[in-house]
Structures are given as C-alpha cells and as structure tokens.
Structure 1
C-alpha cells in the first residue's frame, strides 16, 4: 500500500502508515526535493534494515526524521525505531550478533577505552541514521515523539515497515 500524499504542510497525514521500501523510496526520495541527498539517506536506511532483519527474526520499524518531511531544507537524517516481535530473541543474541545489534543503535554519552575518548553521541551508518529500540508493548511511549511535526504543535504521520 503506497504512503499517502503530502499534506499542505509537507508532512504525511497523522498516523502510522504501513509501507515497504519501494513505498518509502517513492514518497521520501522520488517525490521530494534534494533527491541526491535523499538517495544517500535511503541507501543508509535500506542497508540498516537489511542488517537488522538478519539480527532480529521479525518485527517492525517506525521511520521518521528529516527524510520524512518534504522541505526545501536538505534532510540530514533518518530516525528508526525498532520494535522486535519477540524481545526474548534479543536476549538470546550472543557474541558478534549481540555486538552488531548494539552497533545499530544510537548511543549517548559513550566512553571508549582504546583510544580513550568521550563521545556525546554515537550514531549508526556514519551518522546518517538514529536507531532506537522499543520493547514490544511500549509503543505508546514512543508514538508522541514519532508524530511530532517539524514545527511546534504540529503533528505528522510516520511510516511503519514490517519484516
């Protein structure tokens, strides 16, 4: 099912909209300004979801961020909220798979030992993407953030990809 058209405010209509990668490409890359920059963000998102799908057997991803707004400003990022169907499958990850999953998440206030440094924020995909993890059942806590529009008091929709 294709994503709905942009509203007069250049956002998706409020709500959660089911989509697949081709729907995301059509609305967020093809049907928006700054296509070259959006292509880069879409490639990061596509690769990200491919890796996540190999780590988490099934789930949903909510897609938001600057790529989901039709603006004359160059979009800088994509926000992704991962909602696994089975939280226990994450607990069972070990070794490289567990490390890969943590590498797919945005981390704040990170201290690295070798070389020793403090980083305010570590983001996947060279900073093109923010990735967050939601325990199934906690979506209500995240939805207001994903539905917040680019201007104060504005609400917008977001895409939901299922794998």
Structure 2
C-alpha cells in the first residue's frame, strides 16, 4: 500500500502508515526535493534494515526523521525505531549477533578505551541514521515523539515497515 501524499504542511498525514521499501523510496526520494541527498539516506536506511532483519527474527521499524519531511532544506538523517515482535529473542541472540545489534543503535555518552575518547553520540551508518530500540510497553511514548512535526504544533505521520 503506497504512502499517502504530503499534506499542505509537507509531512505525511498523522498516524502510522504501513509501507515497504519501494513505498518509502517513492514518497521520500522520488517525490521530494534534493533527490541525490535523499538517495544516500535511502541507501543507508535500506542497508540498515537489511542487517536488522537478519538479527531480529520479526518486528516493525518506524521510519521518521528529516527524510520524511518534504522540505527545501537538505535532509541530513533518517530516524528508525526498532520494535521486535519477541523481546525474548533479543536476549537469546548469540554474542556476535548481540554485538552487531548494539552497533546498529545510536548511543549517547560513550566512553571508548582504544583510542581513549569521550563521544557525545555514536550513530550507525556513518551518522546518516539514528537507530533506537523500543522496549515493550513504550510504543505510545515513541509514537508521540515520532508524531512531532518540523514546526511547533505540527503533527505528522510516519512509515511502518514490517518483516
């Protein structure tokens, strides 16, 4: 099912909209300015979801961020919230898979030992993407966050990819 058209505020209509990668491409790359920059962000998103779907057996990804706004400003990132169908499956991941999953998430206040440094934020895919993991029961909080539009008082929708 294709994503709905942009509203007069240049956002998706409020709500969660089911989509697949081709739907995301059509609305967020093809039907928006700065296609070249959006292509790069879409490639980052596509690769990211490809890795995530190998680590998490089934779930949903909510897609938001600057790529989901039709603006004359160049979008800088994609925001992705991962919602596993079975939280227990994450606890059962083997160590290499668990490490790979952690590497797919945005981290704040990171202290690295080698080389020794403090990083305010570590983002996957070279900083093109922010990835978050939704704990069971936190969906409503995230939905309120994802619905905030680019301007004060604007409510926007977001895409939901299921695997």
Same fold, TM-score > 0.5, yes or no: yes
Kindly indicate whether residue 68 of structure 2 is the aligned counterpart of residue 68 of structure 1.
Answer: yes
1:151 aligned counterpart, secondary structure? coil
Cα deviation for residue 96 of structure 1 reads: 1.1
Alignment-derived partner of residue 147 in structure 2: 147
Aligned length: 163
- Whole-Å Cα distance in 1 between the matches of residues 145 and 50 of structure 2? 24
- Whole-Å Cα distance in 1 between the matches of residues 82 and 3 of structure 2? 19
Alignment-derived partner of residue 108 in structure 2: 108
Cα deviation for residue 93 of structure 1 reads: 1.1
TM-score (norm: length of structure 1): 0.99
- Whole-Å Cα distance in 1 between the matches of residues 10 and 141 of structure 2? 25
Q: Render the CA deviation track for 1:2-40: whole Å, top value 9, x for unaligned.
A: 000000110000000000000000000000000000000
2:5 aligned counterpart, secondary structure? coil
TM-score (norm: length of structure 2): 0.99
1:6 aligned counterpart, secondary structure? coil
Structure 1: any 5+ residue segments left out of the alignment? none
The runs of at least 4 consecutive aligned structure 1 residues that moved more than 4 Å come to none
Cα deviation for residue 153 of structure 1 reads: 1.1
Cα deviation for residue 136 of structure 1 reads: 3.1
Kept in 2, the 8 Å contact 1:85–1:136? The answer is no
Q: Render the CA deviation track for 1:118-163: whole Å, top value 9, x for unaligned.
A: 0000000000000000023320011111000000111000000000
- Whole-Å Cα distance in 2 between the matches of residues 152 and 122 of structure 1? 27
Alignment-derived partner of residue 5 in structure 1: 5
**Structure 1 segment 15-34 matched on structure 2, within 5 A:** 15-34=15-34
Q: Render the CA deviation track for 1:27-82: whole Å, top value 9, x for unaligned.
A: 00000000000000000000000000000000000000000000000000000000
